[in-house]
Amino acid sequence: NLPRLTEIYIIGAKPESVHRLNWSLKSEFGSNILRIKTNDREKIKAYWLKSGENKNIKFSKNSKDNYFPTFSTFVNIGFVHILPYGLDHLLFILGLFLLSTRIRLLLFQVTLFTVAHSFTLALVTFRAEFQIAPAIIEPLIAASIIFVAIENFFTDRLSKWRPTIIFTFGLIHGVGFSGALREVGFAEADQLVALAGFTLGVELGQIFVISIAYVLIGHWFGRKWWYRRRIARPCSILIGIFGICWLFERLLPIL
């Protein structure tokens, strides 16, 4: 007569040959509620099992299932991780844009960044041993923003070492992206679909941000003689201030 608010979570991979789950508790444990989700597209089902009652549940994943709902869901998750929820990643991309509004140079930088973060995103998603604690990654992301902002302030062209720096920071940001992907969660069988959708969503978010910046700033003012003094440098200072604030905020818990 006295309910015990106990929750039991059972997590594991389902063997391909298994299509049924039989759940039961001894009668002395009393009644229990079984909540189960048999695949990513169905709603959670709940069963009230009275003392000693068991429940046999059929669940299987048809190889002909349509993966598009999962893919499209993670495209959206990747996009909103950049805009509006990924302000740190967004400012890093804008930092790349501010150095040069020339499309060729901008595409070169963004491609390097994309290749790098896609590599670590896939690596960390599929290999748990390569995961790095957010307490380490998040301050490094903030530091990458500060670095780009400072370099934008003091130089007006793509330096020889900047591609290497961008690639390195891309590797770091990829680990950060993987943390967001793991927080959402996905079925083991949908891992590759979720990763592809999330990666595409991130890229679409980056392209959208750069496109807006080019339409509003680059197209109209990018070739003006006063562009660096009135736009690039002030914006870089603002980006750097955000980066410094994030760096201290993310370092404080571990100091």
pTM over 0.75: no
Q: Which residues, at least 6 apart from 15, have a Cβ–Cβ distance to it below 8 Å?
A: none
Give the pLDDT confidence score for residue 240 in this predicted structure: 96
Residue linked to tokens 């509003």 = 216
Average pLDDT, the chain: 84
Among 224, 237, 234, 238, which residue's Cα sits nearest to residue 101?
224
Q: Are 21 and 36 in contact (CB under 8 A)?
A: yes
Residue numbers of the chain with a pLDDT score lower than 70:
1-4, 16, 38-42, 59-66, 184-189, 255
